Amino acid sequence: MILDLSDDAVLHELWTVQRLAYAVEAELIGFDGIPPLHESLEELRNCGETFQGLYDEEGLAGAVSYQLDGSTVDICRLVVHPRAHRKGIASKLLDALPEGSQTVSTGTKNEPALRLYRKRGFAETGQELIAPGVTITHLAKP
């Protein structure tokens, strides 16, 4: 379902899940400078991305955001609440994206994310140094 970030309750729930999810990634990659981890509610509301969410019995379990670049779906964020890890939430969110080629980036040391993307047919297209000793890996799927 598309998340309406003009709804303050939805926005706050997404912001909370995002902070929890990126805190896990920050620990995995040894870097807490991930921009969405420090984003304000208003910055999130105005980011210009389309968000789709998936709910479980406890609330928002995860969300994916994207921007369209022609026929390419640029995946900006994929966040899963820690309580919902290893329940297929990320795969269901990726399945809900629009048709087309896809691009995504994640921390090079984020092995769970890299495994997920590789399993879904993504191939690495490069790495980028974002801070001393910290790289992100870019991936694409035709």
User: What is the pLDDT of the chain when averaged over all its residues?
Assistant: 96
21-75 pLDDT tens trace: 999 999 999 999 999 999 999 999 999 999 999 999 999 999 999 999 999 999 9
Among candidates 73, 76, 84, 111, which has minimal Cα distance to 21?
84
pLDDT tens-digit map of 11-30: 999 999 999 999 999 999 99
The CATH code of domain 8-141 reads: 3.40.630.30
Q: What is the pLDDT of residue 105?
A: 97
Q: How are beta strands 102-107 and 123-131 bridged, if at all?
A: unpaired
pTM of the complete model beyond 0.85: yes
Q: Where are the chain's structural domains?
A: 8-141
